[in-house]
Structure 1
Amino acid sequence: MLIEAIILSLIIGLIRGGKFRRFKSVNHKTMWVLILGILIQYILVFLNKIEAIGKVNQIISHTKEIMIISYILILIGIFTNLKFRSLWAALLGYIMNFLVFSINNWKIPILIEGIPFINSPKLEEIIETGSTYLYTPITEGVKYPILGDIIVFAKPYPISRIISLGDLIISFSIFALIQEIMVGEDSFMGGYIL
């Protein structure tokens, strides 16, 4: 959902008269830390959805540690760029995601019943057999399942997936961040106060 938020926000930003040159006002060093943390999470999620092979299995066996490092990078990136008000919502989303991840044995609860709607039988199989380091099915023993991956984007949505409430908040925040940067303080985010 993050990719769609970025692309859509860039298009809308241009339609609204926004400028790409405004991205120069961003602290690039600390923003890259944020982007690196997000990228690490996306790669880890992808690797945990495929069948484990050799080196990939060695990497995903350290999912907990890699996720913790990515959250640290993301938090550094967010805290050093809080001048952008939209990042407060991203902070909330990442706190929600980290809470549910850490409190459930360092695994993300996922709605098994939603997997057939996203056409990913391999994912369902590796979750049910317990051969994934990242996901755990939502059962009675799961804490705060409402914060897990329970929101299903199925067909006709172009990229079907299951995301969490935190992911949804983060996507909206990134959309708003791009608008805030491209169009400026007096636009989309002008009336937004936390």
Structure 2
Amino acid sequence: MFLYAAAIGLIIGKLRKGKLEKIGYLTFQFPLLILTGILLQFFVFILNIGLSDLGSSINDGILITSYILIIAGILSNRSIKFMYLFFIGTLYNFIMLVLNGVKVGITEVTAKNAFSPEIVELIKTGNVRYFTIIPESRFYMGAFLSFEGIFIYPIVLTIGDIILFIATVIFFQYAMTDKNIRKGSNVRYSKQLFR
């Protein structure tokens, strides 16, 4: 979803006569923290589909570590505009992950809309390591919104994911259009952004 959000942000930025090269003017602190965290999450989910198996406790530790690294990276750049949105979205997903027993919660209706009956049954029986069915009344604790047939693969979204999607769109169009951004900028909130 990040790529779709980034694309939308770039399109909006271009429509607002922004400049793509201005994105490169922003100075990020410790970018490897965020990158490493994201790569670790991909690593864990690849292991989860059966390419390898390091054991549940190690996988859980890697996944939790990935969130800690991402959050630390975001906080290191908190002076950059809209980073607080990325922080809120990531922290929300992390808290829900922990509350669900280091699993991504998903409502049964959402699972049925996004996945095949076989996969839904595997999730319900606990055979998909990082997904667990949650009650519809607790939709806020996991994925409750699905998109199928629109994208290359089914997508399920949590409240945290939606916040991160919005944050990405806003951030990219802002980086292209904000007049205060100069080479080497580390810019704070601008009241002129949406004017």
TM over 0.5: yes
TM-score w.r.t. length of structure 2: 0.78
Q: Residue in 1 aligned with 2:84?
A: 88
- The answer to whether 1:104 aligns with 2:100 is yes
Alpha carbons 1:63, 1:134 under 8 Å: kept: no
1:28-177 residue pairs with structure 2 within 5 A? 28=28, 30-45=30-45, 48=48, 50=49, 52-53=50-51, 55=52, 57-58=53-54, 62-139=58-135, 145-156=139-150, 159-177=153-171
Alpha carbons of 1:68 and 1:100: their partners in 2 closer, same or farther (altered >3 Å)?
same
- The answer to whether 1:182 aligns with 2:176 is yes
Alpha carbons of 1:158 and 1:133: their partners in 2 closer, same or farther (altered >3 Å)?
closer
Secondary structure in 2 matching 1:62: helix
Indicate the percent of aligned positions where both proteins have the same amino acid.
26
Alpha carbons of 1:43 and 1:26: their partners in 2 closer, same or farther (altered >3 Å)?
farther
Alpha carbons 1:109, 1:135 under 8 Å: kept: yes
User: Residues of 2 paired with 1:43 and 1:112: CA distance?
Assistant: 26
User: Residues of 2 paired with 1:119 and 1:180: CA distance?
Assistant: 35
User: Residues of 1 paired with 2:78 and 2:179: CA distance?
Assistant: 14
> Structure 1: which amino acid aligns with 2:16?
R
Alpha carbons of 1:29 and 1:90: their partners in 2 closer, same or farther (altered >3 Å)?
closer
Unaligned runs of 5+ in 2: 182-188
Unaligned runs of 5+ in 1: none
Alpha carbons of 1:46 and 1:169: their partners in 2 closer, same or farther (altered >3 Å)?
farther
Per the TM alignment, residue 91 of structure 1 is displaced from its structure 2 partner at its CA by 0.9
Secondary structure in 1 matching 2:23: helix
Alpha carbons 1:61, 1:133 under 8 Å: kept: no
TM-score w.r.t. length of structure 1: 0.79
**Larger deviation: 35-44 or 146-155?**
35-44
Paired residues in the alignment total 187
Q: Residue in 1 aligned with 2:10?
A: 10
Larger radius of gyration between Structure 1 and Structure 2: 2
Alpha carbons 1:147, 1:166 under 8 Å: kept: no
Per the TM alignment, residue 65 of structure 1 is displaced from its structure 2 partner at its CA by 1.0
Per the TM alignment, residue 146 of structure 1 is displaced from its structure 2 partner at its CA by 1.3
Per the TM alignment, residue 88 of structure 1 is displaced from its structure 2 partner at its CA by 0.8
Deviation string for 1:109-141 (max 9, x for gaps)? 11122223224445323312312221111149x
RMSD: 3.1
